[in-house]
Structure 1
Amino acid sequence: MQYRTMKSTGDKLSILGFGCMRLPRKGIGIDEERAVKQIRSAIDQGVNYLDTALLYPGSEALVGKALADGYREKVKLATKLPPAQVKKTEDMEKLLDVQLQKLQTDHIDYYLFHSITASDWKRLKDLGAADFVRKARADGRIRHIGFSTHSGIADFKQIVDDYAWDFCQIQYNILDETNQAGKAGLEYAAARGLGVVIMEPLRGGSLARAPPKEIQAIWDEAEVKRSPAEWALRWVWDHPEVTVVLSGMNDEKHIEENLRAAGEALPRSLSAKEIALVNRVKEAYRKKLKVGCTGCQYCMPCPAGVNIPGCFESYNNLYLGSPLQTKIMYMNHAGGGMDGTSPKALASQCIGCGKCVKKCTQHIDIPAELKQAAKELEGLDVKLMALFIRPLLGAFMRFSRWSNVRKARAK
């Protein structure tokens, strides 16, 4: 196992982190026996960074069980506070206490505000987030503080510059070099001394699946034969600014492959020939995308409130991964959130003003592409999801918050 030091904390962390969002399933729940064995086996082989969250159903409780019998002392544990469940100042204290109970520990090594935007962070600050963190660090419940985000570079920089963070967590992979925070965000955070944890290095597993024949043919040209998943992971690890790469591992063969690769991958270890090969794969994937949007954000803000890069990212994802998962994520991020209370940023909101076209560095006919994206992303299936699934998700979120607060009060 290779390790990298997070400069902001001094911790020596395994370059492969165990992401506990996609644990193995059994029926409608987690296969606890198998998941515990997988986590402990990974720790035994050098993994010392585990990532979970309150919003991952059953994950924190499972991780708590896996870290019994002395395993807690072997790892740095990361979990996340969900902003949507914070309605008043004391909620942050209550939720942290519930998480400590679930995880069967007295402290969280790496605590994150979960998937925040700049506006989320402003609201949390107004509710006393800085005082909450100060108190929790002083009494030892939190060791280090960070945030995760799927926002674009402008939002990302604003969050980074607004607080003395120890680390951040961003999505980064061979297809998201310019999307969301992207490479610019990776370098920006590292330059300011933040540790950087990478999520979705395989883009939700889409980069680990058997690729189209024309893309596999490019991989086959490599002198050193590797799976698409290993190539994708090694490309991320090749960046010296990266501290930890999270993998949502739930299959023993995949875990062993990732562990082996993590024992060899050094920063700047890919040859120029190998990097050129990866670049050819990236271009081959991009040719399959519907819109050549790079996520540069120059088209923003949209007068009609459309999240133009986000809509195009979802539109492209329809042809790279799971259509159902993509549409659910689109409904969540652009359609008003899980509970329907967030501002909508749908492709169908485009009024065709054309202001974005003048700013687009890729010369995309944005209104025309948004119209097509709306047809494919906002069909009857998505409308039915919004009609039936959103109320269920909203009810789940409200019940989860009520349950967590009740548990905290009962402590």
Structure 2
Amino acid sequence: MQFRDDRYGNKISLLGYGCMRFTKKGMNIDMDKAEKEIIHAVELGVNYFDTAYSYGGSEAALGKILENNDLRDKVNIATKLPQYLVKSSGSIDRFFNEELSRLRTDHIDYYLMHMLTDVAAWNKLKKLGIEDWIAEKKASRQIRNIGFSFHGNSYMFLEILDAYDWDFCQIQYNYLDEDTQGGRTGLMAAAAKGIPVIVMEPLRGGKLVDMMPADAKALITKEGRGRTAAELAFRWLYDQPQVTCVLSGMNSLEMIDENCRVASEAEAGCMGELERNLISSITNAINGSVRVPCTGCGYCMPCPQGVDIPTVFSCYNHMFIENKGSGRAEYMQMMAFRKSLQGAGRCISCGACVKRCPQSIDIPAELRKADRALLPWYMRITMGVMRLFRFW
């Protein structure tokens, strides 16, 4: 495992463990599986574990696993203040103390203001005394580093970057998002200020691996070096010395092994001209197929009308990345065999999801398009018949 320095010279593993996508057993996290995976990752050198207050069960699972295996002092915990839920100065402490309890620790190594999208959200926190609160927590060593995670455009990222003396930041960054979100502009601006950058969504919610169109997959096969789509995406990031750590939501031992291998081999400057050209070709192929740039993060949920927004967009994109039949079949299954109707047709354009979307997608408009494409008239009839004879 390679390591890069944080702002104060502490070593962070080049690969970080994103804890939002632990495998579920029923409605709960599969603790036995998650424990084996976390232990294995630590053994291979991963020392940065990212979670958040709003990742259902994630903080508690991580805290229990670290405590039970005496791993707390071997890793860095990163978690996040749900600033979008903060209504008063008192609630800041309440959320923080709850997180300490869930994580079974007396300090947070890297604490983030979660999902800042504009400087107005930071200014709201300032009015509630967040700067004095941060100073107090850092003085007591309950927080070691303070940062923010960002979803928005590059211009707004620069405003937030300059609004406080941050220790680090976290951005969505991958070769599809080089010129969107914080993007390369944000990455370079943070590096110029000496602020470490943690990267999330390196595979863009799986779109740079499992959901690639056939012509993009063919380009990787033709390349002939035996590198996987995931390896190419990670190498593109590790090639850039301004990237401090790349988070991956790993949920299999095989995935951990491969990702750790790449993080041990790929150094800054590792990309050659052939690889750069290959990634450029892959980007063009993907951009020609994807209809909605949804990463499946789930920040838009829950929908007041019960629409399963990420799944709708996943099915919709599958129509064009794979084929219409596979996307429609997946959507039909979702619509016909669930107890509650969770299709795009239930959207009433209330706009609640738009305010929370990190990608700034016009979700109601895209849901209308998806509904028309996924359910032509003859499939609507079939779906109605299937629901008529459901057995719940």
Name the TM-score class by shorter chain.
0.7 to 0.9
User: Contact (CA 8 Å) 1:23, 1:249: kept in 2 or not?
Assistant: yes
Deviations 1:65-109 (A, max 9, x none): 121132011111100000122110011111111111110111000
User: Contact (CA 8 Å) 1:289, 1:316: kept in 2 or not?
Assistant: no
1: CA distance between counterparts of 2:89 and 2:206?
Answer: 37
Moved over 3 A (4+): 289-292, 314-318, 320-325, 345-349, 377-381
User: Contact (CA 8 Å) 1:3, 1:13: kept in 2 or not?
Assistant: yes
Q: Report the secondary structure of 1:267's partner residue.
A: coil
- Matched with 2:47 is 48
Distance verdict in 2 for CA 1:289–1:211, change over 3 Å: closer
Tell me the matched-pair count. 330
Q: Quote the offset at 1:377 in angstroms.
A: 5.6
- Matched with 2:104 is 104
- Matched with 1:224 is 225
Q: Report the secondary structure of 1:198's partner residue.
A: strand
- Matched with 2:129 is 128
Deviations 1:115-145 (A, max 9, x none): 0122211111111111110111111110000
User: Contact (CA 8 Å) 1:334, 1:346: kept in 2 or not?
Assistant: no
Distance verdict in 2 for CA 1:56–1:341, change over 3 Å: closer
User: What percentage of aligned pairs have identical amino acids?
Assistant: 41
Gaps of 5+ in 1: 293-313, 350-370, 382-411
Deviations 1:36-83 (A, max 9, x none): 111111001100100000100110011101211320111111000001
- Matched with 1:213 is 214
2: CA distance between counterparts of 1:43 and 1:347?
Answer: 40
- Matched with 1:367 is none
Q: Report the secondary structure of 1:319's partner residue.
A: helix
User: Contact (CA 8 Å) 2:198, 2:244: kept in 1 or not?
Assistant: yes
- Matched with 2:73 is 73
- Matched with 1:29 is 28
Deviations 1:133-165 (A, max 9, x none): 011111111000000011111111110000000
User: Contact (CA 8 Å) 1:290, 1:316: kept in 2 or not?
Assistant: no
- Matched with 2:93 is 93
User: Contact (CA 8 Å) 1:82, 1:113: kept in 2 or not?
Assistant: yes
- Matched with 2:324 is none
- Matched with 2:60 is 61
- Matched with 2:339 is none
TM-score by length of 2: 0.77
Gaps of 5+ in 2: 294-311, 322-326, 335-342, 375-392
Q: Quote the offset at 1:233 in angstroms.
A: 1.2
2: CA distance between counterparts of 1:259 and 1:337?
Answer: 35
- Matched with 2:170 is 169
Distance verdict in 2 for CA 1:53–1:379, change over 3 Å: farther
Q: Quote the offset at 1:341 in angstroms.
A: 9.6
Deviations 1:353-397 (A, max 9, x none): xxxxxxxxxxxxxxxxxx7x463168799xxxxxxxxxxxxxxxx
Structure 1 range deviating more: 219-228 or 145-154: 219-228
Q: Report the secondary structure of 2:197's partner residue.
A: strand
Q: Report the secondary structure of 1:67's partner residue.
A: helix
Distance verdict in 2 for CA 1:336–1:269, change over 3 Å: same
- Matched with 2:10 is 11
Distance verdict in 2 for CA 1:374–1:63, change over 3 Å: closer
RMSD after superposition: 3.1
Distance verdict in 2 for CA 1:113–1:379, change over 3 Å: farther
Letter in 2 for 1:37: K
Q: Quote the offset at 1:261 in angstroms.
A: 0.9
Distance verdict in 2 for CA 1:135–1:192, change over 3 Å: same
Letter in 2 for 1:58: G
Q: Quote the offset at 1:346 in angstroms.
A: 7.4
Distance verdict in 2 for CA 1:277–1:151, change over 3 Å: same
2: CA distance between counterparts of 1:127 and 1:379?
Answer: 45
User: Contact (CA 8 Å) 2:353, 2:363: kept in 1 or not?
Assistant: no
Q: Report the secondary structure of 1:115's partner residue.
A: strand
- Matched with 2:249 is 248
1:376 aligns with 2:362: no
Q: Report the secondary structure of 1:56's partner residue.
A: coil
User: Contact (CA 8 Å) 2:21, 2:250: kept in 1 or not?
Assistant: yes
Distance verdict in 2 for CA 1:334–1:123, change over 3 Å: farther
